[in-house]
Structure 1
Amino acid sequence: MRKILVGAFVSLDGVMQGPGGPEEDMSDGFSLGGWTVPFFDEAGGQAVDRLMREPFDLLLGRKTYDIFAGYWPKDPNADRPIGQRFNAITKYVASRNPDISLSWHNSVHLGPDPMEAVRRLKEEDGPNLLTQGSADLLQTLLNGDLVDELTLLVFPVVLGAGKRLFTDAIAPSTFALLDSTRTPSGVVVSRYRRQAEGVKTGSFA
């Protein structure tokens, strides 16, 4: 059985839009793209490397797929292991467009019911499914209780607006903290595993 692993760069106020560059995702007037760059150091890179240490396929929303497909096949540093890996592995893409054209090598459209397709993928043997970016897809995965682990890199910046990792539409759930570290630039890297039970409540009275 395959797991769904989420790797996400988020601000202190939970925004995950446009972390890598000014023009990465300017939808809804977002103007602070590239907000992770001043804080990204060697330790942050090592945290990303750990997330990708085990075999995986990519599970992406259409917008993130387009960003990746526009960059990695043309990466000027073609000998980088991450680029070679992204180009070689299977990319599963969720899109509402039934006529979607996927030109990146080994790309697969999940079809008209992406969540049912993801459930089937999870039941198969094979590498885990790694989701990066893909904010809209993440909301659906979280609400459908399909996410097994979260690795969050929380950057010490408040953005005020933008696409968020968690919204009001997310179903209540509980995660166990597996490990947590801090980079020299102040990024907190934490890994969480989804727990079977729901949210427990109590009273201090």
Structure 2
Amino acid sequence: MRRIVITQNITLDGVVDAEQSWFDVTADTEQGRELAAVTAEHAAASDGFLVGRTTFEAMRGFWPRQLDDRTGVTDHLNRVRKYVVSTTLDDPGWDGTTVLRGGDALEPEIRALTDGDGTDIVLTGSITLGHSLLRAGLVHEVRLFTYPIVLGRGRRLFPDGWRAENLSLIEQRTFSGGVTLTRYAL
């Protein structure tokens, strides 16, 4: 059975949207290199990437154009199966992409993916899709790269009213710039 894993960059106050440009995954700094190394570890354990249309289009417009990508993200995204949830996208324009129609079919589509052969399917970005998967109980793990910053506004990872108790801490690491990784099984 495959697992759905949400991986997010997040602020201390729970913001996950990048509108305020508070993190840079391509930064060539000590912390950037440390984060790229752990991201590569996680990527090696996955063969699927799950996103909503908006995040998909942003990533499709950015990562394939990175010719000197030291993070390994471009190679990873070109290698794995990509699943984009969209009711409007017909031609994804990125090899290895399957369009899932979502809506009432979202839960059966995701269950079919997790029932298939393979390794982890990772969701990043795609806040609305993440909320839907959390509410439906389809998420197996949450990986949080918490940045020591408070923004005071922005979209949050967990939907209003959603509650989870007895999360199991799998791992906790701190990086040179103060970012911490915490992984929880749901």
TM-score normalised over the length of structure 2: 0.87
Separation in structure 1 between the aligned mates of residue 5 and residue 150 of structure 2, nearest angstrom: 25
Q: Which residue of 1 aligns with 2:154?
A: 162
- Which SS does the other structure have where 1:41 is aligned? helix
Deviation of residue 81 (structure 1)?
A: 3.9
Q: Which residue of 1 aligns with 2:96?
A: 106
Indicate the structure (1 or 2) with the bigger Cα radius of gyration.
1
TM-score normalised over the length of structure 1: 0.80
Q: Which residue of 2 aligns with 1:138?
A: 130
Separation in structure 1 between the aligned mates of residue 66 and residue 139 of structure 2, nearest angstrom: 30
Q: CA RMSD in A?
A: 2.0
Read off the aligned partner of 2:140 and give its amino acid letter.
Answer: D
Q: Which residue of 1 aligns with 2:11?
A: 11
Separation in structure 2 between the aligned mates of residue 48 and residue 79 of structure 1, nearest angstrom: 12
Q: Which residue of 2 aligns with 1:200?
A: none
Q: Which residue of 1 aligns with 2:23?
A: 36
CA displacement, residues 170-203 of structure 1 (integer Å, 9 cap, x when unaligned): 2434310011011111111111111xxxxxxxxx
Does the 8 A contact of 2:46 with 2:122 survive in 1? no
- Which SS does the other structure have where 1:84 is aligned? helix
- Which SS does the other structure have where 1:36 is aligned? coil
- 1:46 aligned onto 2:37: yes
For structure 2, the residue ranges without an aligned partner over 5 or more in a row are none
Percent identity over the alignment is 27
Deviation of residue 51 (structure 1)?
A: 1.6
Q: 1:61 aligns with which of 35, 52, 62?
A: 52
Separation in structure 2 between the aligned mates of residue 155 and residue 78 of structure 1, nearest angstrom: 22
Deviation of residue 45 (structure 1)?
A: 2.1
Q: Which residue of 2 aligns with 1:203?
A: none
Does the 8 A contact of 1:51 with 1:151 survive in 2? no
- 1:183 aligned onto 2:175: yes
Runs of 4+ in 1 over 6 A off after TM superposition: none
Q: 1:90 aligns with which of 74, 81, 84?
A: 81
